[in-house]
Structure 1
Amino acid sequence: MENYAKVMGVKFPKITLDRTVEILSSVIEQKRSQLFHVITVNPEITMACQKDKLLRSILDDAGLITADGIGIVMVSRLRGGNLPERVTGYDMLLRLLDSGNQKKWSFYFLGADPNTNLKVVEVIRDKYPDLLILGRHHGFFKQNEEDKIVEEIGSLKPDILIVALGAPNAERWIHKYRLKLNAKIAIGVGGSLDVIAGKVKETPESWKRLNVEWLYRLIQQPSRWKRQLILPRFAIRALLFREKSKL
C-alpha cells in the first residue's frame, strides 16, 4: 500500500500530527547541512501549483508536505487515498513550541506586522520559557532590508525558522534563500502568529471537530470571503482530476 495520497498530482504523506512532530524532532537531532523545508499545503496552494511551475517545483523539493485543510483530507478519502487527518501549520507550530520548550530548541520568528511580531515573541517567552528565541523580524520589511535579515538568520543558525509571510509567499521566500538561512527546519505558518499573539481569535475545538474551521474564520474575518470561493472549485477539480500518463 502506498504511504502517500495524491491530490491533483501532489503527494501527501499519510502521517498524523504526532508522526509529523516525531519526524521534525529527528531532523533537529541530526547534523544536517541542508535546510529541511516543511510546507503545509492547502487547497489554494494545490490549485496554484497546477499552473505555477516554480511553486510546483518548490513542493516537489520540500523535505515534507502536510495536508493543511479538511478539503485536502476529504478529497483524498473520496479518491481512495485516505489521509488520516489534516496537519495544519498552526497545530504543528504549537506542538513544536511545546517540544522546543522541553528540549531547548532555538527559534527565529519572521513575519506578521511589527506589533504582532513583538507581541507573539513576548507571549511565547512567557508560556515557553525554556526554548530559545534567537531573533525576530516583522514581515513588512523593504527589499533593501532583505539581505540583512537573511544574513542575520544565517549567522544565528536556529533549529527552527518560523515564517509568517502568507502562503505561498513564505514558501517562495524560504526556497529562494534556502542555501543561506542555515536553519535546520523552516516552516511557513500562514496567520498563526496572529492567533498566538491574540490578534485573531483561535478557532474553538467544537468547530474544529465539525470540520468547519473555515466558516469560523470567515465569520471572524469577513474579508476572507474571496479566498473561500476557491474551495468549491478545488473540490470539483480535485475529484475529477486525472493523473497524467507517464507513457
Structure 2
Amino acid sequence: MTNARPAHPPAPPADSARLELFGLPLDVISLDATLDLLGGWMFTQSRAPHTVVTLNPELIVQSRSHPEFANAVQVADLVTADGVGIVYAARQLHGLEVPRAPGFDIVAGLMKRHGADLRVFFLGAKPGVAEVAAQNAARDYGITVAGVHHGYFDLPEDQRVADLVGASNAHLVLTAMGGGRQETFNQYWRQVLNAPVLIGCGGVIDVLAGTADLAPAWTRRMGVEWIWRVVGDRKRWNRAPRLAQFVTLVRAEKKRLGR
C-alpha cells in the first residue's frame, strides 16, 4: 500500500481561481465547469486518480481539530462550494461571489451526462443501502454499476475495501462515510482505489436509495437546504452548534483582516 500524498499540493483547475478559507482551498468553479472537468478526468487514458471535496461549514469546523482531515482537503484536486455558508464566507473574507457545486448536483450531473459509459462504485451508507442506490441509479440514469460496499467498516478493513474498489475499473467512486472519514479514506488510498474521480459525497447514496429525502428545489436554489435538513431531522440537531461556530469564525476572521 502507498500513502499517496502528492509531493506538492495540486494546482487548481486551469479555468478557475483558487481561494483559501481558514487554511483550506476553495476552487471558484461553476457546476457546469465542474462537470466538464470531471468528465475529462474520467475518460482519459491515464486514469490518474483525483480527489474531490465538496466543502461546507461543518467540514471547515471539523478540520480545525483534525490535521489528517485538513491535509486531505489541502491536497485535494478539486474543492467546490457545497452550500450557502461557503458562499457567505468567500463574500465576507474575499469579496467574491463563489458559484456552488453541491455534491448531489455533481453526482447526478455526471450520471445524466455519461449514462452507460460511466462505471460507478457506490461505497458507503448502511449495509444494503448502497445496493438500492446503485439499482436506482442504473434505472434512472442508465449508468453501469462497477460495485457496491457499505460504509460500516473499521480502519483495519480499509485496504480490503480499497482493493475491492480498485479491481472494479470504476470511473467514479462515491464515498459516503461521513465528513472527514470519507475524505481521508479517498486521499490515503487514492492509488489503490484506481479510479479517475473519488468524491466524498456524504448523504448522496442515501438520497439515491430513497432512505433520505432530497431537500426541496427552492431550498437548493437558495443554498439553504442545510437549514431544512437540520430543522426537519432531530438527529441533525447536534450539528447546529458547528454552524454557529462557523459564523463566529468568519466574523472573527473578517475583523482580523479589517474588512
Structures share fold, TM-score greater than 0.5: yes
Structure 1 residue identity aligned to 2:205: L
Q: How many Å separate the matches in 2 of 1:78 and 1:175?
A: 30
CA 1:121–1:62 in structure 2 vs 1: closer, same or farther (change >3 Å)?
A: same
Q: How many Å separate the matches in 1 of 2:27 and 2:223?
A: 20
Structure 1 residue identity aligned to 2:99: E
Q: How many Å separate the matches in 2 of 1:34 and 1:200?
A: 32
Q: Could you say what secondary structure the match of 2:218 adopts?
A: helix
Match of 1:137 in 2: 149
Match of 1:64 in 2: 78
1:52 is the counterpart of 2:52 = no
Which residues of 2 match residues 122-133 of structure 1 at below 5 A? Answer: 122-129=135-142, 131-133=143-145
Q: Could you say what secondary structure the match of 1:5 adopts?
A: strand
Q: Could you say what secondary structure the match of 1:6 adopts?
A: strand
Structure 2 residue identity aligned to 1:50: R
Which residues of 2 match residues 15-34 of structure 1 at below 5 A? Answer: 15-32=29-46, 34=48
Per mean C-alpha deviation after superposition, the further-off stretch among 11-20 and 79-88 is 79-88
- Return the TM-score normalized by structure 2: 0.86
**Equivalent of residue 159 in structure 1, options 158, 168, 171:** 171
Which residues of 2 match residues 1-247 of structure 1 at below 5 A? Answer: 3-32=17-46, 34-101=48-115, 104-129=117-142, 131-142=143-154, 145-241=157-253
Q: How many Å separate the matches in 2 of 1:147 and 1:12?
A: 29
Q: What's the offset of the Cα at 1:33?
A: 5.2
Q: How many Å separate the matches in 2 of 1:210 and 1:5?
A: 22
Q: What's the offset of the Cα at 1:9?
A: 2.7
Query: Any stretches of 5+ residues in structure 1 without a counterpart?
Result: none
Cα deviation code 1:13-34 (max 9, x no counterpart)? 1111111111101111323353
Cα deviation code 1:180-229 (max 9, x no counterpart)? 11111100100111111111111111222343312210233111111121
Q: How many Å separate the matches in 1 of 2:59 and 2:227?
A: 19
CA 1:31–1:83 in structure 2 vs 1: closer, same or farther (change >3 Å)?
A: farther
Q: Could you say what secondary structure the match of 2:170 adopts?
A: coil
Taking only aligned residues, the RMSD between alpha carbons, in angstroms, comes to: 2.2
CA contact (8 A) 2:43 2:171 kept: no
Per mean C-alpha deviation after superposition, the further-off stretch among 77-86 and 138-147 is 138-147
Q: How many Å separate the matches in 2 of 1:219 and 1:79?
A: 28
Q: How many Å separate the matches in 1 of 2:50 and 2:223?
A: 29
Query: Any stretches of 5+ residues in structure 2 without a counterpart?
Result: 1-15
Aligned residues: 242
Q: Could you say what secondary structure the match of 1:57 adopts?
A: helix
CA 1:107–1:221 in structure 2 vs 1: closer, same or farther (change >3 Å)?
A: same
Cα deviation code 1:80-130 (max 9, x no counterpart)? 34243222111111111112206x11111101112211211111111122x
Q: How many Å separate the matches in 2 of 1:148 and 1:55?
A: 21
